[in-house]
Amino acid sequence: MIISPRHFALLAILVIGWYLGLTYIPQFVGTCLDADCGFSAAEIALSIAMPLMFFVVPIAVEMVVYRKRLRTAISDIGLTRFNWTGIRLAAIYLLPLLVYFPLMSLITNNLLTTQPRWEWLFLSTLLVNGLVEETMMRGFVFRHLREGRSFWRAAGLSTIYFAGYHIPLIFSAGLMIGVIGIVIAIPIGFVTAYIYERGNNTIWGPALLHAINNGLVFVFMLSSELQPVAASLYMLLGIAVSTAMVVRAYRSRYGRSNEATMQQLVVKPS
C-alpha cells in the first residue's frame, strides 16, 4: 500500500503537538512527577491529572475523527482487553534489566541504594512512559499505520515518530544519554509494536515494558562516580535485549510468512 503523504504529515503534527504538550505543560504548571514540589494535595492531584489529560487525546481522536463510541474506541486501542502473551513477552525483555543493578553492585562492590523520592520518579514513568505514551504510540499510531500495511512496515513507520520525539533528550540529558536514548528507541519501537500485536492489540504488555525499562534507572543508585556509567550500560543492555527480540521475531518470519503465502495465491495475468 502506498503511504499517503497527507496521512503521514497529519499524524506527525498530532504526535509532535501531543509530545510537546506532554513534555512542557507539566513543567510550566509545576507537578510532582519530577520529585520537585511541595507535595500539597493540589500539586499531587495536578501531577496525576496532567498525564491523564494527554492520555485521553488518542481516545478523543478515535471518537471525533473516526466517529467511534467511547467503548469501541478504548477497546480498539487495547485498554479494556487483556492478554497474557504480551505480559509474558514483556517479562522476558525485563528479566535481564531487573537483575542488572544488583549484579552491577555486586561486581563493583558498590552499595546499591534508592534515589531520593524515587517513588515519584517511578510514578512518572508508569503514567507517562507506560500508560500515556503506549496508548498513543502503539494503541493509536502503530495500529492505524498497520491498516493495509505489513507488520514490519507499520512498525518501522511508527518507530520514526517514536525515535524522533526522543531527540530533545540530547539537550535535556546531555549528548551521550540523548544519543543512546534515540538509538534505544529504535529497537524498543519495534519490540513494543511486536508485543502489542502478539498481545492481541492490547497495550498492557508494551506499557509494562516501557514503564519498567525507563523506571529502574530512576529507582536504583550506585555511587555518584559510577552512576552515569552504570546508567549508560543499562541503556546499552536495553538496546541489546530489544534488538535480540526483534531479530528473533524477524527470523521466525513473524509478519512475513502470511504475506508470502498470500503472494503465492495471487494468480498472475497471462
Q: According to the 3-state scheme, what is the secondary structure of 186-238?
A: HHHHHHHHHHHHHCCCCCHHHHHHHHHHHHHHHHEECCCCCHHHHHHHHHHHH
Global confidence as pTM: 0.89
Q: Which residues, other chains included, contact 124 with Cβ-Cβ below 8 Å and sequence gap of 6+?
A: 33, 34, 218
For 75-123, the DSSP string reads HHHTSS---HHHHHHHHHHHHHHHHHHHHHHHHHT---EE-TTHHHHHH
7 CB neighbour count, 10 Å cutoff = 11
pLDDT digits (tens, 9 = 90+) for 154-213: 999 999 999 888 787 788 777 877 787 788 899 999 999 999 999 999 999 999 999 999
Q: Which residues, other chains included, contact 152 with Cβ-Cβ below 8 Å and sequence gap of 6+?
A: 250, 255, 256
pLDDT at residue 267 in the model: 38
**Cβ atoms of 48 and 128 closer than 8 Å:** no
pLDDT digits (tens, 9 = 90+) for 227-266: 989 998 998 999 999 999 999 999 998 987 655 433 333 3
Q: Which residue has the cell 543508585?
A: 221
pLDDT digits (tens, 9 = 90+) for 87-142: 999 999 999 999 999 999 999 999 999 998 899 999 999 999 999 999 999 999 99
pLDDT at residue 141 in the model: 95
Spatial distance between the Cα atoms of 144 and 38, rounded to a whole number of angstroms: 41
Cell of 140: 493509536
Q: Where does residue 269 fall: left (phi above 0), alpha (psi -120 to 50 degrees), or beta otherwise?
A: beta
pLDDT at residue 1 in the model: 43
Q: Which residue has the cell 503472494?
A: 263
pLDDT over 70 (residue 56): yes
* Domain residue ranges of the chain, discontinuous segments joined by +: 7-253
